[in-house]
Structure 1
Amino acid sequence: SATWQDRSIIMEGTLNMRELGSLRTSDGKHIIKGRLFRSADLAQITINDIQALEQLGIKTVVDLRGPKEALDHPDKVPKGTKIVPSPIIGSDTGDAIDGTTIRTLVSSAGLPDTMLDFAKVSQHGPYYRMLFLVNSYGTESHTSRLSKYRPFFGALLNLAPNENILVHCTGGRDRTGVGIALLLKALGVSQQDIEADFVASNQALQPSREDPDSTTFLRFHAANVFLQPPENKYYQRVAKELGAPPESIRNAVKLRTDLLRRMFASIDARYGSFPLFLESQLGVGLKELETLRQKFIL
């Protein structure tokens, strides 16, 4: 299968965009090239980016952000593109993270109390939300909420034969990463390839990771400082201010392959098997699986 770099699409106004084409399935087939895309939000895309989306034939955009996120930073899309709102989690869907939870998360990550300065930390990015999400994989509340991906699967099933689809959240990492992992597993992509695509967001949210002096990431909603390489000078200044090493700050929120393993194990434990989960929670039974395979696999 092609590496994530081969599948990446460089945009001017968003990050973490790649297609899932060429990933192999267990029966020796592969995902159709140019059919399925994932990215960070489309609120800041340029005229060139809009033309790129048109050329890629992306006619449906699934937005996994909460209503407030989507309202504050509305997607820009080519005329005639259908936006399907499919909110998964956000402080605006009754999932606000309380102070006690934050304290517990920060201390279990081995981070100092200086990382509890809410105002200071939050001005550099949604650190607590990322910390909360990364620690939620495989938990009862995370697994029981996976049924919220039903509109995403509905959009996949309704896709016209000659049209392509893009799914995104804010950074295109946790919520998008989970949705894509569920779909790839349903399509029979190997666990190894699913995990590799999932963790690729760690690097794909670093717009100029080779240059420690770069501050390019500041231009993007999705690319907060906490996700940048610890060698980045700006990151080192922020980390010093927050009283923790940049490596520790980043390691606590970066995506890891064991997160997906936890999630899939929890799905099996709760629903009996992945196919039973697909059918009962996402409305994807044998007939729908066949439809998905026809649309996305060659």
Structure 2
Amino acid sequence: MVGALTPVAASAAPAPVQGHFSAASVERSNHGKMVIHWKTSSNLGPAKIYWSTSPDNIESDGKLLAHTYTSFGGYVTADPKPGFRVYFKIKAGNGATVTTAERKVNLQGAFNFRDLGGYRTTDGKTVKWGKLYRAEELGHLTPKDLAYVERMGLKTNVDYRNDSEVKAMPDPVLKGVKYVRTDQGNTGSGADLNSIMASGMLKDEQTAVGLLVMGNKSMIEKPEPYVTLMELLNEKNNMALVQHCTAGKDRTGVGSAVILLALGVDEKTVMEDYLLSNVYRAEANKMMIEGVKQKVKDENMVKAITALMGVQKEFLGAAIQEMKTKYGSIDVFLEQGLGITKQERAQLKAMYLE
């Protein structure tokens, strides 16, 4: 008599590994290698790394770069496509994925051109890569830079600068990119470094800090440029968008904060992004300060100018506090100060989060 088949023990089919990626980043080494880092909540086993020159559908439309293990925490590779912006997707054996890219756009003529992608929101979503950029003036971009930027698929360039700044350093014409000025007609701005220096109000580091605190508050008191920004962001044909001023740290810093706050990124992370201008502008600021020291012998004035060239928590903190003081909360500022309806904010999140 043939006996019944013995059932296979449940332990023979291991349960899927639970866990997720908690962070990922890409940095370029001094030798041009791309160093991919990631963190996981637990060992997720083997992993595949994909890359693409588009941030969309990386796994299906991109190419497989490598097989590795999540426990390694990273992978080093040569740039898979020099001259193009590259995005990576790491997929663990349990199906968990994370997308990442260089935050700083790899350009020769811009220090502070960077991507707002990858930041987590309070409800567990992530800002999409390759859709939202912040930058400084673009007039120093080299021909190779311009070709690189055009390959990124930019659709809209929002310029916060005043007339004198634009006249001194016009933006280059970018093929296929719509150019929008938000400050037409004005000849000065409280956040414009040149205007502050020419005002005669600059005396020492303390006055410099005070001036930038006042300048950041004024951007909330008169938020018209950011009303325009949010209107542009709500139109799908404006994805991807770069917003910029002269140094890419004050007016652009507040604009970036407004975007991230509207998408649901927490204040701590927003501040961390704001302070990255000190990292990316460090070399340029050092060179500028050395030049200032050759012309200005007053040590207090040198310290004042040094403060103006950087960013401090107090600067953006003043803008965020003004949102809360004047409107009661950041959410109310977004709705009443910038005119973003609940429906428009929901659409922004649907467009720019994943």
Residue 271 (structure 1) aligned with residue 327 (structure 2): yes
The aligned counterpart of 1:17 is 113
The aligned counterpart of 1:83 is 179
Higher relative contact order (CA closer than 8 Å, sequence separation 6+):
1
The aligned counterpart of 2:256 is 180
Larger radius of gyration: 2
The aligned counterpart of 1:120 is none
Match of 2:286 among 214, 228, 235: 228
Q: Deviations over 1:220-268 (max 9, x none)?
A: xxxxxxx3279x75565455x2344855642465211232222222211
**Is this contact kept in 2: 1:173–1:198, CA < 8 A?**
yes
Residue 281 (structure 1) aligned with residue 337 (structure 2): yes
Query: For the structure 1 residues 184 and 94, does the alpha-carbon distance in structure 2 shift closer, same or farther, using more than 3 Å as the test?
Result: closer
Residue 29 (structure 1) aligned with residue 29 (structure 2): no
In the TM superposition, residue 29 of structure 1 has moved relative to its aligned partner by 0.9
Q: Deviations over 1:140-171 (max 9, x none)?
A: x443112331111111111328x311111111
- Alpha-carbon separation, structure 2, partners of 1:22 and 1:89: 36
Secondary structure of the corresponding residue to residue 13 of structure 1: coil
**Is this contact kept in 2: 1:134–1:255, CA < 8 A?**
no
Match of 2:241 among 136, 149, 165: 165
Task: Provide TM-score, normalisation by structure 2.
Answer: 0.63
User: Of Structure 1 and Structure 2, which has the larger fraction of its residues in strand?
Assistant: 2
Secondary structure of the corresponding residue to residue 38 of structure 1: strand
**Is this contact kept in 1: 2:253–2:316, CA < 8 A?**
no
The aligned counterpart of 1:137 is 216
Residue 64 (structure 1) aligned with residue 140 (structure 2): no
User: Cα RMSD between the aligned structures?
Assistant: 3.2
Q: Deviations over 1:16-58 (max 9, x none)?
A: 0110111111111100011111111111212211111122111
Match of 1:148 among 225, 235, 253: 225
Query: For the structure 1 residues 296 and 92, does the alpha-carbon distance in structure 2 shift closer, same or farther, using more than 3 Å as the test?
Result: same
Where in structure 2 are the equivalents of 1:73-112 lying within 5 Å?
73-87=169-183, 91-92=187-188, 102-103=200-201, 105-107=202-204, 109=206
- Alpha-carbon separation, structure 2, partners of 1:158 and 1:296: 11
- Alpha-carbon separation, structure 2, partners of 1:66 and 1:249: 20
- Alpha-carbon separation, structure 1, partners of 2:144 and 2:308: 36
- Alpha-carbon separation, structure 2, partners of 1:198 and 1:95: 15
Q: Deviations over 1:47-79 (max 9, x none)?
A: 211111122111111111113322332211322
Query: For the structure 1 residues 147 and 12, does the alpha-carbon distance in structure 2 shift closer, same or farther, using more than 3 Å as the test?
Result: same
- Alpha-carbon separation, structure 1, partners of 2:149 and 2:222: 30
Query: For the structure 1 residues 93 and 202, does the alpha-carbon distance in structure 2 shift closer, same or farther, using more than 3 Å as the test?
Result: closer
Percent identity reads: 28
User: 5+ residue gaps in structure 1?
Assistant: 111-127, 210-216, 218-226
The aligned counterpart of 1:198 is 274
User: Of Structure 1 and Structure 2, which has the larger fraction of its residues in helix?
Assistant: 1
In the TM superposition, residue 172 of structure 1 has moved relative to its aligned partner by 0.5
Query: For the structure 1 residues 147 and 271, does the alpha-carbon distance in structure 2 shift closer, same or farther, using more than 3 Å as the test?
Result: farther
Query: For the structure 1 residues 245 and 76, does the alpha-carbon distance in structure 2 shift closer, same or farther, using more than 3 Å as the test?
Result: closer
